[in-house]
Chains A and B, each alone.
Chain A
């Protein structure tokens, strides 16, 4: 894994820890410390990996919602949610492909099983996928250049909106915690396999 990703993951749960060291010099340097400078080339490679991971997650979401819409098993609010979010995830895929150019990974295959066949299963899987997208972007933010991060920030919040939206529809708490914990690239990959990524 890229070093700065690793560093960031180790700092996951920062708020709790930051609170513990609050007031101490360690707290200030933890939060306000300089970002380590790296060679431009290394940063470019890290950014490409980060964006391709994001693209993989967006592929999963786009495929999931497209299948749900195609299967026509959803009614009412859930159906409307699937249709609207499907279009938005398509836009996210297009955005990331554009940012990566020729470096964009190809679309893998997915098997969502029965998760697109009933409202309850759909809502569960959608909430998991949206939470994963939020956590994946948070985990990769430090690997992005300033310009790319500026653009990517406009998607991160939309993934979080989707996560809260689907929970609102099925009457689950849309936002339980004060922070969303980031997840590492390895964690995102294993989550994706559990949620339908095949190869």
Chain B
């Protein structure tokens, strides 16, 4: 694994290199996008999100007529009173199953992408993703313990798996932060290594449980599916609670954009710019842990979104975190809504784990962009 030391960070002299680096822009994908006003980019992505969600609601495993879907939606919104020309079960498919899932996909995608931006910025490591500091191991252990507890435990309508996956993700990151803390400081290299060790330990704890507990062995296909990721929400309460928590956390993340930019100068440089380095590092860790936990609690471990979407967005609109964070969040939402649409429909009536789709969709796109960007890619 490549770990950038703090000194290497000084190789990037400009924390907000919006204007200075226009040379070679012919080879850069989305050349010119960096000069677009943020408002325009966000509006464009928001329109894309609405469009992709509309398609994802209209299309699914069961075939509903598109006209019926929009009539049902308009009726439900109280805007129209179309006569009921559809079966009652079709309305259930739309409102009880498909619609909440599409909204959940958008939330999860946004959470993972923004957590990826935060951790890549904080750790100054291009391999960083939302799971890099222990969240995946903690969440997996939580989910497995949750499936043992089963429906005996419920919290605000959530089952044991989402609750314990959430707790596990946040708990593991807190543990990593604690272990990595040296004399009140939080050295980045230590955070990365402690994250690696804790995640590995927790992961093998899960393996151990699977080997020694006969009840879990029978659950293997399901646990395997959870590890590959799949969006699953029981009801609107779950969606709105996770959505509200994610939104609040995301607002906190927006306030950290300036610090993240300063971190690209290395910690000394950031301190010289007046950033409270240690305090903000902890905030970034906490905020990214919460965002990741929101995502994994309702979706399992979906890979690639939190790694690739920040990079692609960075290629498109530059490394300024104040632009990158909101743009990547919307892009992540669009990406996961479309990936989940594929997961639901490609091999219907069976579902693909959405993690397969994120890798197959995201991987090639990312590689093409990376090759076109070549050396111009700064992050």
Real binding pair: no
Which residues of A does B touch, CB under 8 Å? none
